[in-house]
Structure 1
Amino acid sequence: MSPSLRQQKALQTKQRIVAAALDLFSKKGFDHVTVDEIVQVSNTSKGAFYVHFNSKYEIFLEKFKEIDEFYENFTETLPEEMGSYEKILLLTKSQMIYLKDCLGIDLIRTVYMSALIPNQPKFLSNTDRTLFKIVHSFVNEGQENGEFKKYLSSQEITMLITRCMRGTLYDWALFGEEFDLVEESQKFIRTILSGMLTKVDN
Structure 2
Amino acid sequence: MGMAKKAGRNTKARIVAAAWRLFYEQGYEDTTVEDIVFESETSKGSFYHYFEGKDALLGSLSVLFDEKYEELRPRIDPEADAVETLVFLNRELFNMIDNSVSLELLARLFSSQLVTRGEKHLLDRNRTYFKLLYQIIRDGQSRGQLRTDMTANEIAKAYAMFERGMMYDWCLCGGEYALGRYSALMMPMFLQGFRPER
From 131, 153, 156, the counterpart of 2:154: 156
Alignment of 1:37-76 (within 5 A): 38-39=32-33, 50-54=48-52, 56=54, 58-76=56-74
Report the TM-score, using the length of structure 1 for normalisation: 0.74
* Map of 2:4 onto structure 1: none
Partner AA of 2:168 in structure 1: Y
* Map of 2:23 onto structure 1: 23
Partner AA of 2:165 in structure 1: G
From 113, 122, 134, the counterpart of 1:115: 113
Partner AA of 2:179 in structure 1: L
Percent of aligned pairs sharing the same letter: 24
Residues of 2 paired with 1:43 and 1:192: CA distance?
41
Deviations along 1:88-123, whole A, 9 cap, x unmatched? 010110010011212121221111111123223312
Between the two proteins, the alignment pairs up a number of residues equal to: 183
Alignment of 1:92-103 (within 5 A): 92-103=90-101
From 122, 125, 128, the counterpart of 1:127: 125
Deviation at 1:59, TM superposition (A): 1.8
Please list every run of 5 or more consecutive structure 1 residues that lacks an aligned counterpart in the other structure.
Answer: 1-6
Residues of 1 paired with 2:196 and 2:122: CA distance?
30
Q: 1:106 and 1:123, CA in 2 relative to 1: closer, same or farther beyond 3 A? A: same
The answer to whether the 8 A contact 1:21-1:59 is kept is no
- Secondary structure of the structure 1 residue equivalent to 2:116: coil
From 76, 79, 82, the counterpart of 1:81: 79
The answer to whether the 8 A contact 1:115-1:122 is kept is yes
Residues of 2 paired with 1:78 and 1:43: CA distance?
33
Deviation at 1:146, TM superposition (A): 0.5
Partner AA of 1:144 in structure 2: S
* Map of 2:3 onto structure 1: none
Q: 1:199 and 1:83, CA in 2 relative to 1: closer, same or farther beyond 3 A? A: farther
Deviation at 1:170, TM superposition (A): 0.5
The answer to whether the 8 A contact 1:89-1:189 is kept is yes
Deviation at 1:39, TM superposition (A): 4.7
Deviation at 1:186, TM superposition (A): 2.6
Deviations along 1:122-179, whole A, 9 cap, x unmatched? 1222222111111111110110000111111110000000101100000110112322
Deviation at 1:68, TM superposition (A): 0.5
CA RMSD of aligned residues (A): 3.4
Looking at CA atoms only, which structure, 1 or 2, has the larger radius of gyration?
1
The answer to whether the 8 A contact 1:75-1:91 is kept is no
Report the TM-score, using the length of structure 2 for normalisation: 0.75
Deviation at 1:46, TM superposition (A): 8.6
Please list every run of 5 or more consecutive structure 2 residues that lacks an aligned counterpart in the other structure.
Answer: 1-6
Q: 1:154 and 1:88, CA in 2 relative to 1: closer, same or farther beyond 3 A? A: same
* Map of 1:3 onto structure 2: none
